[in-house]
Structure 1
Amino acid sequence: MAKPWIPSTERDVVVMSALEAVRAFSDSLDRMYAGMRGDMDMNTTDLGALRMLIIREQQGEVVKPHDLATHLAISTASTTKLLDRLTVAGYLTRKPHPHDRRARIVMLTEEARSTFRRHFGERLRRMRDAAAAYSDEELRTIMRFLADMERAMLPEG
């Protein structure tokens, strides 16, 4: 077990404070997602699938079942069960791929979009308002920091 890190310099204190802020933000996201999971009667993987689909849709990308499996790190069988669950719940549809007749894509329903807007809309507006107070340079620094934190969270190997 690693020994606890105890800040010993002013720089260490700033780094610790930044990491505590990341943890607090992560905790607030966890609380928000827990509320959504309860309201939408779904598990963490289901919600992760819907979040991925919303982001990919906003980027104009199509999503195949394999893409979901890779993103969520779940098996093909688990992906099929997930897609069945979310389809029955009215959140997803499966359609033929627009360019590959052998493949299928997964798309959000209007119900899924509406539910996400209801749960996230006001929060996203407040987050945009908070971000507007920062300069472009500051936001780029924050984005770089968060990307570095994301990479640091990946398993070693």
Structure 2
Amino acid sequence: MRQRWVPESPRDELVMETMKSVRAFSDAMDHMHGGLRGDMDMNATDLAALRMLIMREQRGEWVSPHAIATHLAISTASTTKLLDRLTASGHLERRPHPSDRRARVVVLSELARADFYRHFGERMLRMRQAMTGYSDDELRAVVRFLADMEVALSGEG
């Protein structure tokens, strides 16, 4: 078992402050997602699936039911229920994979995209406004930092 890390230098203190800021940001994101769940009348897993699909869509990636199960750490049966629920509500569509006739992919419906952005749009505007005081180089550093944190937290780095 690792012992609690204690900062021993000015650099360590800065790292600790950065980690505290990351936790505060994560807490703010949790709060925002709680509000979105209420706004969209969805449970946490359903909203997490939509967020995953939006992120993968922005990256140009196809999403399989298995990828959703893996990302959300839920069983195949739970994934089927989630997909049935979100398909019935009009938020998802199941389609044939574009290059593998045996496989299926899950995509956001136009309703889901419009619903998500309608509820999230004001929050995105406030986030963009918060960035106005940062230079392009500072924003690039933030992008690099967050990408590194994503890799560190996913265990892929």
- Shorter-chain TM-score bucket reads 0.7 to 0.9
SS at match of 1:106: strand
> CA separation in 1, counterparts of 2:50 and 2:105?
14
Match of 2:131, SS state, is helix
Q: Distance in 2 between matches of 1:55 and 1:153?
A: 17
After superposition, the CA RMSD in angstroms is: 2.3
Structure 1: gaps of 5 or more residues: none
The 1-side partners of 2:135 and 2:39 are apart by 36
Q: Which residue of 1 aligns with 2:11?
A: 11
Answer yes or no: is 1:93 the counterpart of 2:93.
yes
52-61 or 132-141, which moves further after superposition?
132-141
Deviations 1:25-62 (A, max 9, x none): 11110001011122323222211110111122233332
Cα distance in 2 between the residues matched to 1:64 and 1:5: 40
| Counterpart secondary structure, 1:120 | helix
The size of the alignment, in residue pairs, is 156
* % identity of equivalent residues: 65
State the alpha-carbon separation in 2 of the partners of residues 102 and 7 from structure 1: 54
Structure 2 unaligned blocks of 5 or more: none
Aligned to 2:152: 152
Relative to structure 1, the CA distance from residue 59 to residue 150 in structure 2 (aligned partners, 3 Å threshold; closer, same or farther) is closer
- Structure 2 residue matching 1:99: 3-state secondary structure: coil
How far residue 8 of structure 1 moved from its aligned partner, in angstroms, is 4.1
For 1:13, what is the secondary structure of its paired residue? Answer: helix
Report the Cα offset of residue 10 of structure 1.
Answer: 2.6
Query: Partner residue of 2:68?
Result: 68
CA distance in 2, matches of 1:14, 1:122: 32
By how many angstroms is 1:86 displaced? 0.9
Q: Distance in 1 between matches of 2:143 and 2:31?
A: 22
Matches of 1:100 and 1:66, distance apart in 2: 15
